């Protein structure tokens, strides 16, 4: 097991009716910016609950709606300007991972003293201060509500970069599972794959003898598999929504990454597919992950066999043999089937994506000299193999 430091200060406020607790978390009489997306919060009642709570704290409210999925740098910089001009004291992100990621960037960039806030993304420029923020989560998947990372896109240059800082943990995050009742199937399908993939990125590496973390990662995967058929239907129970929401938060808040090796090659390849072709994040992961398993099967052999056994109860190949490769083939197929069972496509060709896009992505990895995955073992040529295996 590796040495590690764990410190997650986020206050998680979880459960039915908890949005009203906002008024206990927000100081009285401050200037607060609410950030949100396309307006679904106005249709599902969350917006009204938030405003009611904020009025109790006599907040001076500025609204910034219209943050898109895969939040765009240009959009976020408009919010940064308002934060600076208006001296905003606090930001409240009301939405899913994109809104929260975007809010983290707004919080940092508003206090950035350098020339170009783009440097926060491409040069990991350090920022000494940030506007404090809280979140009301409306779409579980990314765990952004309980971690300090974010991803920002720049559509004009087809870039997508991640960032993080000790200053970008939410002061509090309110998770009311009732917001899940009304989620469309596509968002649920993306969420399931995203949470599943987050967990795999911290689990399906070479074996690192992190016994608790392995068991906990398997616990999240097994929970998702058990929930998937129920949560993808329209008629969801409260407990299923609550368990799904909690699984999303636990997938990427550091609770399963203590002392482990991490991969993230699939995510980085997926980000490029989103940047080039506009696919949803979850859609890209459903395509790429079975490819990563196929191409990196030698390096991940021990863990793939454990994943087959503990998560899918697969201990022999489809031909009945105990051969490792046959077992690994079976579990890759099972993973692919699982993604399809929640409504995801798992092949590039299903989105009309072909060799030209693969070439573009591989060139980008090559020119940036990116070797990704645990220990940098996923070279640009491995990226090509992975994507070509998913045509």
Point out which residues bind its own copies (CB under 8 A). Answer: 1-18, 209-212, 215-216, 218-220, 222-223, 226-227, 239, 242-243, 246-247, 250, 255, 258-259
CA distance 222 to 343: 18
Question: What gap in Å lies between CA 205 and CA 56, rounded to an integer?
Answer: 49
N residues, the chain: 391
DSSP letter string over 200-268? Answer: HHTTSSS----HHHHHHHHHHHHHHHHHHHHHTSSS--HHHHHHHHHHHHHHSSSTT-TT-----HHHH
Which lies closer to its own copies via its Cβ, residue 230 or residue 297? 230
- Contact criterion met (CB below 8 Å) for 203 and 247: no
Give the orientation angle of helix 265-277 with respect to helix 185-201, to 10 degrees: 140
The CB-of-312 to its own copies minimum distance in angstroms stands at 15
Nearer to its own copies, 122 or 211 (CB): 211
Q: What is the closest distance, in whole angstroms, from the C-beta atom of residue 119 to its own copies in the complex? A: 28
Nearer to its own copies, 12 or 82 (CB): 12
Choose between 73 and 196: whose C-beta lies nearer to its own copies.
196
C-beta of 13 vs 100, nearer to its own copies:
13
The rounded distance, in Å, linking the Cα atoms of 321 and 327 is 8
Nearer to its own copies, 17 or 320 (CB): 17
Distance CA 338, CA 332 (A): 10
Residues 6+ apart with CB under 8 A from 260: 1, 2, 202, 203, 205, 208, 210, 213
Q: How far is the CB of 154 from its own copies (least distance, A)?
A: 34
Least gap, CB of 281 to its own copies (angstroms): 22
State the nearest-atom distance from the C-beta of 222 to its own copies, in Å: 6
DSSP states along 120-132: HHHS----S----
Work out how close the CB of 258 gets to its own copies at its nearest, in angstroms, rounded to a whole number.
Answer: 7
Pairing of strands 172-175, 149-154: unpaired
Minimum CB separation of residue 12 from its own copies in Å reads: 4
Cβ distance to its own copies smaller for residue 7 or 367: 7
């Amino acid at each position: 097991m590796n040495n590690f430091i764990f410190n997650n200060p986020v206050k998680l406020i979880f459960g039915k009716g908890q949005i009203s607790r906002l008024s206990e978390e927000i100081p009285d009489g401050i200037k607060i910016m609410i950030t949100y997306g396309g307006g679904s919060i106005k249709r599902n009642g969350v917006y009204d609950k938030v405003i009611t709570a904020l009025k109790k704290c006599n907040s001076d409210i500025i609204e910034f709606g219209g943050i898109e999925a895969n939040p765009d740098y240009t959009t976020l910089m408009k919010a940064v300007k308002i934060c600076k001009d208006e001296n905003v004291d606090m930001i409240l992100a009301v939405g899913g991972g994109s809104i929260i990621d975007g809010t983290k960037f707004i919080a940092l960039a508003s206090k950035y003293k350098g020339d170009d806030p783009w440097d926060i993304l491409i040069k990991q420029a350090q920022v000494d201060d940030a506007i404090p923020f809280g979140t009301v989560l409306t779409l579980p998947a990314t765990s952004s509500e309980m971690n300090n990372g974010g991803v920002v896109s720049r559509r004009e240059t087809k870039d997508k970069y991640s960032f993080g800082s000790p200053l970008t943990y939410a002061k509090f995050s309110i998770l009311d599972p009732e917001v899940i009742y009304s989620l469309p199937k596509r968002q649920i399908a993306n969420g399931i794959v995203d949470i599943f993939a987050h967990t795999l990125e911290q689990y399906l590496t070479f074996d690192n003898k992190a016994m608790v973390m392995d068991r906990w990662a398997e616990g999240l995967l097994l929970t998702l598999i058990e929930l998937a058929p129920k949560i993808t239907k329209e008629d969801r129970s409260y407990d299923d929504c609550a368990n799904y929401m909690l699984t999303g938060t636990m997938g990427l808040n550091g609770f399963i990454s203590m002392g482990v090796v991490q991969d993230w090659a699939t995510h980085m390849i997926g980000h490029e597919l989103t940047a080039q072709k506009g696919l949803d994040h979850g859609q890209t992961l459903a395509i790429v992950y079975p490819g990563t398993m196929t191409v990196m099967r030698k390096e991940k052999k021990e863990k793939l066999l454990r994943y087959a056994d503990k998560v899918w109860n697969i201990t022999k190949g489809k031909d009945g043999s105990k051969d490792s490769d046959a077992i690994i083939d079976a579990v890759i197929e099972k993973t692919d089937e699982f993604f399809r069972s929640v409504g995801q496509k798992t092949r590039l060709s299903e989105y009309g994506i072909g060799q030209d896009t693969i070439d573009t992505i591989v060139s980008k990895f090559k020119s940036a000299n990116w070797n990704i995955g645990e220990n940098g073992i996923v070279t640009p040529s491995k990226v090509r193999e992975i994507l070509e295996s998913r045509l």
